[in-house]
A and B are shown apart, each in its own frame.
Chain A
Amino acid sequence: MAASPHLVADHRRLVRRRLAATRAVLVASLAVLAGRLVQLQVVQGGRLQELAARQQLEAIVLEPRRGRILDRRGRPLAVNVDAPSLYAVPTAIPDPAAFARVVAPLVGQPAAEVERRVRAGRHFAWLARKVDPQVVARVRAAVRPEQVGVLTEQRRAYPNGPLGAHVLGFAGIDNQGLAGVELSYDSTLRGAAGRAVAARDGLGRILVETQRVLSAPRNGQEVLLTVDQVLQHIAERELAAAVRRHDAAGGWVVVLDPRSGEVLAMASSPGFDPNAGVRAEPRLWTNRAISEVYEPGSTFKIFVLAAALDAGVVTADQQVLCTGQLSAPGGAVIRDSGGQRHGWVTPADIIRYSCNVGAALVGTRLGKDRLYTYIRAFGFGRPVGVDLPGESAGIVPPPERWLGPGLQTISFGQGLSVTPLQLAAAATALANDGVVLRPFVVRAVRDADGRMVRVVGRQPVRQVIRPEVAARVLQMMVGTTESGTGTEARIPGYAVAGKTATAQKPAPQGGYDPARLVASFLGLVPVPHPRLLILVSLDEPRRAASGGEAAAPVFREIASQALWYLRVPPQTSPAGAP
């Protein structure tokens, strides 16, 4: 049966309407999609692109290399080596306690600490940083491979072990300077980290074609010290031998080039190995040559006599009478060592015999205010400004606090405190026409390509005494080693200027403890144009107590080897030489 034309027309209309509706829906949908497309691509395009890049690209820190520390001849004293660091992947560790029990003994840490770290992290937890490769191998053999990972980091290494440890200092686990030159020149050595972004593939490898360096890393600069590796070794060896020989509590040696103020060696005992870093005992980190504050004793007499000669209160051939003791203000009695009477003594004799009474008489003539002015001008009572951290200022009380026999005791180095470096720095005036120099330990800085970016030179601080007075005092000091208290410091072939000191240490209950001494020797060689200025001190030596017996031979050993090493020829042929 055929459909009626009326029905067919209705059906076609219906189809057309439905088609129109469908078309409208499709067009509307497409319009919505197009609108959304425009919104995503155009309106929000920039922001979304950045968001996507942030999700796909990983930020990478480009670590700089820490600059090396070299000795004055370019021999490496602090370098960088690669070291593996172990981390755990907590999500791959079902039983942190069991994991910790296995791993903790291998990495040398308490199990509780390892477990705490594993529980605290999600995808990453440090186990041990900068360890030996053997530790990594042992841990890897003990746990499942997916539970631990290894990153390679830079570790600071000191190839000479304890040599120059107090000058070098050490760097911490994140290569940050913590002591010594490592700390004072940290910003120079550290460099600056760079930044990059890159995508990684399924295996975690960087896709190089996606890598963008946002800022390149700047490697740290190299630091050249004034310290000489060989002279440092000589100083440390002789100091250690003397500390053992005299059963001393410790000691220190400072070797300066008196013409420039460069620190050629600086040794402290007891020492430590900077490779141990913070694991070393903290009290051993102290650089006693710049931090130790002690009463200098008779080495101070040379500055008092230089001041008196410069001020004109005594002349080089004027004599004062040493009767072996001197009544001082406050009812105190100044005595010479062993009650010796030196009789009429010139300034040269006071230095030669280390005469306390003579020094006290000269100091009295100078007066409190003038002596104080000279003491401050020589640089005592304030840091010398060496480029090392932890320097002490010393203690110089103002004249109004020099009570009783204060003026007289200060005249022979008791009643004020100095640092070893202050003492050595003040003595540079004797070799530089009366000008005190600032000592320093870094002579140059060069960039990673070897170009010098900074050179440090001689740093005059101030003129303290007249040039002729400096030369005269230096000549007077030669008498100490020729026929005075420091004959043990004599070096065949060289004229040695020196001064001994045997200073009592303050007792805890007040006054001085005659059983606790600091034995010192301060010397310059060769006279009249010194190339070496050496201060040797032994802290509480128990066998030979005096500076002449304990410290002067150490000076002789260090100076004689250093002179040959520096190719300073003898002025006269040593006795018995061919």
Chain B
Amino acid sequence: MASVVVAVAVVVLPAVVLVAQRTHAARTGYAILALQGEVQTLQAENARLLAEVAALRAPDRIERIATTQLGMVPPRPQQVASLPVAPPARAVARGPEPSVLDRVVGWLVRTEAAAAEPAP
């Protein structure tokens, strides 16, 4: 009797495990499929919104609204003045020079980082 049970267990259990795994894989596959569909839907929505933003920013549309709805007019040359602007002052703050210890630590860190890089 015991040998029959063992034989059944040896034959049936792997089959059950196999079926369970296949079912799980299929279920996960459907979940992946649903997520892929969701990603595609969001990407399509994003593309549609970007196109809509571009259409809303079209110069022709902005100008039409500015002139017809807001009553704006292009400035005449006499209404625009060009002001001379001095070149920006060089005010870049400089920190203290790195010490020898800083340089050694920097060298080590760089070496470590370089070691982690995949070989070309």
Contact = CB atoms under 8 A, between A and B. Distances in A.
B47 A208 contact: no
Given A76-B50, A208-B29, A209-B25, A230 B77 contact: no
A81 B51 contact: yes
Contacts of A506: none
A207 B26 CA distance: 7
Contacts of B82: 493, 569-570
Contacts of B68: none
Contacts of B78: 492, 574-578
Interface string A217-259: 0000000000001100100010000000000000000000000
Given A81-B47, A570-B82, A577-B81, A161 B29 contact: no
Contacts of B28: 208-209
B59 A230 contact: yes
B60 A161 contact: yes
A574 B77 contact: yes
Interface residues of A, number: 35
Interface in B49-103: 50-52, 54-55, 57-60, 63, 74, 77-78, 80-82, 84
A80 B48 CA distance: 8
Given A75-B54, A163-B58, A209-B26, A82 B47 contact: yes
A561 B28 CA distance: 60
Contacts of B44: 81-82, 152
A159 B33 contact: no
B87 to A, nearest CB: 14
The SS class assigned to the A binding surface is mixed
Contact of A205 (B33, B48, B63): B33
A496 interface: no
A206 interface: yes
Interface string A543-578: 000000000000000001100100001100011111
Contact of A578 (B52, B81, B84): B81
A577 B81 CA distance: 7
B109 interface: no
Interface of B: 25-26, 28-30, 32-33, 36, 44, 47-48, 50-52, 54-55, 57-60, 63, 74, 77-78, 80-82, 84
8 contacts: A76-B50, A163-B60, A205-B33, A207-B26, A209-B25, A209-B28, A569-B82, A577-B77
